[in-house]
Structure 1
Amino acid sequence: MKRAAIVFAPLALSLAACASTDVSTVNSGAAGASSARAVLLAADGSRRGEAMVTEAVDGLHVAVRAMGITPGVHAVHVHMTGTCTPPDFASAGGHWNPTARQHGKDNPAGMHMGDMPNLTAGADGTGRMEFVIAGATLRSGANAVLDADGAAIVVHAQADDNKTDPAGNAGGRIACGILSAA
């Protein structure tokens, strides 16, 4: 038994050191981080889900998981300012739009880079949405979402009609999360 402990103890310590190094690097928020995360909160501060944004060669991969929201269809957008002040989250500003377009995938003059598909919440108040924002980056270039004032992910009370400028008639903002490097 002692022999096994002597042989495996250095190996276990080496693996633990590697694991802690990897975790600190991922959580450091360094400029080179390739992902960002937002915890989605309601106006009362209760958790309503989370969003993960990962940079890839084809753009930003966005995955939103919502919970505790009204069953039905809800717009989800990237907003231009990384501030989520309740109760209405107006502090998040308008949709992230570095290409100066109009709103919606069905708008001939659209779409904002922050426009994404609707999320459908089931009877249990949970839903998921995934989307790729083509040509976008986290920190570098003209289409970087994490610019000087950051960005937020916002869930709206209603569905996005995908054409009406500036916000797709999506209704009030029911959850908001500030994107920060993961």
Structure 2
Amino acid sequence: MIALVLCASTATAQDAATAKAELKDAKGAVVGQATLTDSPNGVLVHVVLTGMPAGPHAFHIHETGTCEAPFTSAGGHFNPASKQHGMANPMGMHAGDLPNVQVPTDGALTFDAMARDVTLGAGANSLFKSGGTAIVMHAVGDDYKTNPAGAAGARIACGVIAK
């Protein structure tokens, strides 16, 4: 019986939909990798970064799968439910809103975040929608309330989310 449970959980983990995004800075240098994995609670976003400026930075999933510097080509935050921005906004939050990260002085960071209102499957909240989506790192931290983008500053890294 125990072997069956272990085999079943292994098969489920292997069957989970995954996606990746290679994050590049405005000069085109690779600065990180994001791996996204579908789960019953949303999409787990695992990011590994190097060479980034120290301090707080916002991360968001954006509505367009294009990353041309200065990354405004990625559009606004992924927001299929047309909510306002921010985890602290009673009218929010966007499906693409992720928590701020704190990059240490060595510029390297690995973190996980759960994007609860998105999926790698089909549907309105799919990150594989027509036109694609991207993950974007901003110059400063998100204030979690200012609409439409949290006063997070310039976009300093971007990666197109792909299967």
Match 1:65 to one of 48, 68, 79: 48
The structural deviation recorded for 1:47 is 1.1
Instruction: Determine if contact 1:104/1:165 at 8 Å carries over to the other structure.
Output: yes
| Equivalent residue, structure 2, for 1:156 | 138
Alignment of structure 1 residues 129-140 onto 2, 5 Å: 129-140=111-122
Instruction: Determine if contact 2:46/2:111 at 8 Å carries over to the other structure.
Output: yes
Instruction: Determine if contact 1:77/1:114 at 8 Å carries over to the other structure.
Output: yes
Match 2:82 to one of 82, 90, 100: 100
Secondary structure in structure 2 of the residue aligned to 1:48: strand
Instruction: Determine if contact 1:54/1:61 at 8 Å carries over to the other structure.
Output: yes
Secondary structure in structure 2 of the residue aligned to 1:91: helix
Match 2:36 to one of 45, 53, 58: 53
Instruction: Determine if contact 1:121/1:128 at 8 Å carries over to the other structure.
Output: no
Alignment of structure 1 residues 107-122 onto 2, 5 Å: 107-122=89-104
* TM-score after normalising by structure 1: 0.79
Runs of 4+ in structure 1 off by over 4 angstroms are none
* Structure of higher CA gyration radius: 1
In structure 1, runs of 5+ residues without a counterpart are 1-25, 27-31
In structure 1, how many angstroms separate the alpha carbons of the residues matched to 2:43 and 2:84?
20
In structure 1, how many angstroms separate the alpha carbons of the residues matched to 2:84 and 2:127?
18
What is the letter of the counterpart of residue 83 of structure 1? T
The structural deviation recorded for 1:130 is 1.5
Secondary structure in structure 1 of the residue aligned to 2:73: helix
The structural deviation recorded for 1:33 is 7.2
What is the letter of the counterpart of residue 162 of structure 2? S
Secondary structure in structure 2 of the residue aligned to 1:180: coil
How many residues are matched? 150
In structure 1, how many angstroms separate the alpha carbons of the residues matched to 2:29 and 2:159?
12
Indicate the RMSD between aligned Cα atoms, in angstroms: 1.5
Q: Which moved more, 1:110-119 or 1:128-137?
A: 128-137
What is the letter of the counterpart of residue 120 of structure 1? Q
The structural deviation recorded for 1:59 is 1.1
In structure 1, how many angstroms separate the alpha carbons of the residues matched to 2:23 and 2:99?
17
What is the letter of the counterpart of residue 101 of structure 1? K
Deviations 1:119-150 (A, max 9, x none): 11111001233111224211312211110111
In structure 2, runs of 5+ residues without a counterpart are 1-13
Identity %, equivalent residues: 46
- Confirm whether residue 142 of structure 1 aligns to residue 124 of structure 2: yes
In structure 1, how many angstroms separate the alpha carbons of the residues matched to 2:92 and 2:117?
15
What is the letter of the counterpart of residue 103 of structure 1? H
